[in-house]
Structure 1
Amino acid sequence: MASMILPRCATRSLARATSAVRSQASKVATRCIHQTSPITASPIRHRPGAQQCSPRIHAPSAALGRRTMFIQTESTPNPDALKFNPNQRVLPESIPSSFLEYLTPRSTLAPPHPSPLAAKLLSIDGVTSVFFGADYITVTKDSATPWAHVKPEVFAIINEFMLSGHTIVNTVEDTAGESGQEGTELDSLAYDENDSEVVGMIKELLETRIRPAIQEDGGDIEFRGFHDGQVLLKLRGACRTCDSSTVTLKNGIESMLMHYIEEVQGVQQVLDQEEEIAIKEFAKFEEKLRQQKGPDAAPSTIGKGSLDTVE
């Protein structure tokens, strides 16, 4: 192929044209660069880190505070006793009695039924006794300590203990016959084939008509025997130290038993030494009130009236 020879003037024109094309391309490229948005600093003025890219993990609400359970409280005829209902079983079904009562710190450790929960409750300043029913707890305090100081601690201990799943009442062998708690024997109102007809009728009335009202008031009742027309009973829980317990026995239980069973001539309460002292002090107080109001004034009572008006 023959080579083509360009004249010198054509070569110069081609060089100038090539230079013009390169210059135009450079201007277009420069124009394109300037047309894009300039890269500036973020308004936050810091570079995004790895934490902004990672998803947030929200802690569950239970982790923000301790778990709690709904515990109801009920007042009783005894102003120094409160009934706490944790809405779950309190007394183990394996215990034959319908209640357990702890009157001293030692009784919470002694066989046959020591209780860690009762031990913690009795360690609260002012608490004098702890009573376990089937599904409720009655706490009794001394009259000098206000409930405002006792009630929050009782709530906290019961709540923590119930949620932890610990055993409320343990059962150990009582080799020494110590019997540190009250109510460790068989249920006194349970059916016994050796009972007479009159005793069976007394137990049936106490079980079906009297005990539900006593338990509603945070206590229980024991049958201690029937001798010479007199029914021997023992009140427990909130009713044990209640000032109106005598009125309840006489105006309520005695009236009912005498109405349905002609062999019953009266009801007597079996008392401990401290209970005898409390009743004597209450009798003195009633006598002072009667003298101030006049000889015809009726005796006063702080009971609910559920048993005091039974006919």
Structure 2
Amino acid sequence: MTFRHSRTQPNTSTLQSTTSHFSMPHTAMSQSALQTLTRAIPAFRSSAPKVARRCLHQRTTAIPSSSLHYKVRSSPWRSAIQPNRAPLGRRTMFIQTVPEATPNPDALKFKPNQRVLPDSISSLEYLTPRSTLAPPHPSPLAAALLNIDGVTSVFFGADYITITKDSATPWAHVKPEVFALISEYMTSGQPIVNTVTDSNNERGQEGAEVDSLAYDENDSEVIGMIKELLETRVRPAIQEDGGDIDFRGFVDGQVLLKLRGACRTCDSSTVTLKNGIESMLMHYIEEVKGVQQVMDQEEEIAIQEFAKFEEKLRAQKGSNAAPSTTGKDSLDFAQG
């Protein structure tokens, strides 16, 4: 009888040693050898895999974890899905825009839900890049905002920022940069405005820090009443529109006022002055005969240049061009 195994063949040296040991006939020797081999096969089967595993374990090099292709890597998706694992030290803030609050379509009011100016300053306005560097209150944020294409003025209120642009630039091009700059300054802790002492212009510095509507014991009774009405009745509504108002004097029955922020270039500023403020002041104070809007020197120069440009456009378009509400000879302008 012949023994066959599908995986392992018997060793011939084992058969020879078994034959010489028993010294039996050929038939008996074959049966003894088969019994010996049968007992040896299970041990051989169990030991072969161990040797193979041991050899495999010794010859295989360790694979570093950094080279595994299935290693979990950080990605924007994971950070978006798991917001709790956002990088430390990074802050976000909510900035609200109030477009319906401003009557001027070219002005937008941004509210960062925190105070913008110190308690000692009621409002600040920057019309040119040079004004953002001039004392007493230079502003790096205003300088950055005026550097955006299309932005013409920056107004800081107590808890809001009003941005005014030209009519040719759409808000879709301006708002993203405004959002980015305001968020950067608010979250980084950088100062919105700085206070610089100007030894050559101390009087101007004091005038800039004092609110024009604040009570002054040296004011006459009429001026005190005008300031009180402007402070309690007019200023809240104008600030809600993203602007402010300054009292510049009372001369010959005329109240000289300056509109700032979104109300400065608004098409309805004449209506605000004549039908709103003038009517109220004349109703309560009989000494008031009218209200006029005054301009700063820089604004007068800018308006004069704009008036010249408008005359050129009117000459090109013809006599059917619509009249302007801005310029030296417009209803909005009065020499201060």
What SS is found at the alignment partner of 1:168?
Answer: coil
Shift of 1:193: 2.0
Shift of 1:195: 2.3
The whole-number CA distance in structure 2 between the counterparts of 1:208 and 1:22 is 116
The whole-number CA distance in structure 1 between the counterparts of 2:150 and 2:111 is 21
Amino acid at match of 1:89: R
The whole-number CA distance in structure 1 between the counterparts of 2:131 and 2:49 is 91
Hey, what does 1:195 align to over in structure 2? 219
The structure with more helix, counted as a fraction of residues: 2
Amino acid at match of 1:78: N
Shift of 1:209: 1.5
Hey, what does 1:87 align to over in structure 2? 113
What SS is found at the alignment partner of 1:234?
Answer: strand
Hey, what does 1:297 align to over in structure 2? none
Hey, what does 1:28 align to over in structure 2? 42
TM-score (norm 2): 0.65
1:186 aligns with 2:210: yes
Which stretch shifts more, 231-240 or 189-198?
189-198
Task: Please say if residues 112 and 179 of structure 1, whose CA atoms lie closer than 8 Å, have aligned partners that are also in contact.
Answer: no
Alignment of 1:136-151 (within 5 A): 136-151=160-175
The whole-number CA distance in structure 1 between the counterparts of 2:103 and 2:301 is 19
Hey, what does 1:214 align to over in structure 2? 238
The whole-number CA distance in structure 1 between the counterparts of 2:204 and 2:156 is 14
Task: Please say if residues 233 and 268 of structure 1, whose CA atoms lie closer than 8 Å, have aligned partners that are also in contact.
Answer: yes
Aligned residues with identical type, % of pairs:
69
Hey, what does 1:172 align to over in structure 2? 196
Task: Please say if residues 104 and 128 of structure 1, whose CA atoms lie closer than 8 Å, have aligned partners that are also in contact.
Answer: yes
Alignment of 1:1-311 (within 5 A): 22-30=36-44, 49-51=63-65, 56=72, 60-61=79-80, 62-63=86-87, 68-75=92-99, 76-93=102-119, 96-177=120-201, 184-272=208-296, 273-274=300-301
Task: Please say if residues 243 and 279 of structure 1, whose CA atoms lie closer than 8 Å, have aligned partners that are also in contact.
Answer: no
Amino acid at match of 1:142: D
**Larger relative contact order (C-alpha < 8 A, sep ≥ 6)?**
1
TM-aligned CA distance change 1:144 to 1:97, over 3 Å: same
The whole-number CA distance in structure 1 between the counterparts of 2:218 and 2:172 is 49
What SS is found at the alignment partner of 1:246?
Answer: helix
What SS is found at the alignment partner of 1:129?
Answer: strand
Point out where structure 1 has 5 or more consecutive residues left out of the alignment: 1-10, 40-45, 286-290, 293-299, 301-311
Shift of 1:234: 1.0
What SS is found at the alignment partner of 1:138?
Answer: strand
Q: After superposition, what is the alpha-carbon deviation per residue over 1:83-118, rounded to whole angstroms, capped at 9, x for unaligned? A: 11111221122xx44111111111111211111111
Shift of 1:242: 1.6
TM-aligned CA distance change 1:100 to 1:243, over 3 Å: same
Amino acid at match of 1:120: A
TM-score (norm 1): 0.70
Shift of 1:153: 1.8
The whole-number CA distance in structure 1 between the counterparts of 2:307 and 2:268 is 9
Amino acid at match of 2:187: L
Point out where structure 2 has 5 or more consecutive residues left out of the alignment: 1-21, 54-59, 81-85, 315-319, 326-336
Which stretch shifts more, 24-33 or 230-239?
24-33
Task: Please say if residues 108 and 115 of structure 1, whose CA atoms lie closer than 8 Å, have aligned partners that are also in contact.
Answer: yes
